[in-house]
Homo-oligomer: A and B are copies of this chain.
Amino acid sequence: MDLRFDHNGLITVVVQDAETGLVLMVAWANEIAIQQTLDTGFATFWSRSRKELWRKGSTSGNTMQITQIHVDCDADTLLYRVRPAGPACHTGNTTCFYRTLEEALAEETL
């Protein structure tokens, strides 16, 4: 089978801590990012804001070592199970999903 990329050539990637089960982040990957992930064993994404390959942790040091990659039934989403070297979130939180929806909606700004 082939992976199903969207019209921008991207596929959604859910990242989960292989040990704790915590969902850490969601990012996007193109074919090159996936190939680099497979070649290096570390999570590489496509940054939609910076429009460039983004090897997670290349500046922060918070890399994510891949333990397993799963694909969903219709092949348009990947699940990276990883061993993170540090916090997944740029805020310093372990996971990007550190707030409940209720908490977030109560905040005045991001």
Residues of A at under 8 Å CB distance from B? 1, 12, 14, 16, 20-23, 25-26, 68-75, 77-79, 89-91, 93, 96-102, 104-105, 107-110
Interface pair A100/B73, CB less than 8 Å apart: no
Bound-state Cα–Cα, A73 to B22, Å: 15
Q: Are A1 and B97 in contact (CB under 8 A)?
A: no
Copies in the complex: 2
Given contacts A1-B108, A20-B21, A70-B101, list 6 more A-B pairs with CB under 8 A: A23-B23, A23-B79, A69-B101, A70-B99, A71-B101, A75-B110
Tell me whether A1 and B91 are in contact in the complex, defined as CB-CB below 8 angstroms, given that A12-B26, A78-B101, A99-B70 are known contacts: no
* Chain B residues, Cβ within 8 Å of A77: 26, 96-97
B91 close to A73 (CB less than 8 A): yes
